[in-house]
Amino acid sequence: WMGRVHQMPEDKINELIATNFRGVISTTQAALTWMLERRRGVIINVASVAGFRPSPYSAVYSATKHAVVGFSHALRGELSGTGIKVCVVYPGVTSGTEFFNDKGPPIGVVQYPASWVANLIVRTARFPRRDAMVAPLRLFHLAEPVLGGLGDHLIGEARRRSLSD
């Protein structure tokens, strides 16, 4: 759902929290028992670029993805020394998903093929790393401290235009 937070239906808020955050917690709990018994495993939680770069007009979605990042980083410390790795994958806007079904992505937003994201997840499972993102997004993440408020403004304007179309 994309729009102003005060207009967001309560059921949509609950759905996003249940799927994007509680789902991550539940699957992690289910997998951990098995992994802890074997003292090995890789937990890969899929967040979003919105987990480190919240987007105007998707405040609740951004908050749930930020929660996944915080949960994963805290869990990594909790599992230190157990043989279990915790990784976060940050896909960007992925083509072929339902995310922008209603309006389409804002003009100028780069979409990445789902195959890129799938390959990133497979690589992360084989070669665990703390944070994994498709190559072009790494540059965006590095530029974040410099962009700051300008990034907020540009993304906000693109989303505002997209919503008014």
Q: Which one from 57, 61, 90, 112 is the annotated catalytic residue?
A: 61
Structure tokens at 15: 């759905």
Q: Is 112 a known active-site residue?
A: no
Alpha helices (H) along the chain? 10-17, 23-38, 59-78, 114-126, 135-164
Spatial CA neighbour of 132 closest among 93, 87, 96: 87
Structure tokens at 165: 């179309």
DSSP letter at 94? E
Residue 2: partners with Cβ closer than 8 Å, 6 or more residues away: 57, 58, 61, 100, 102, 103, 159, 162, 163
Annotated catalytic residues are 61
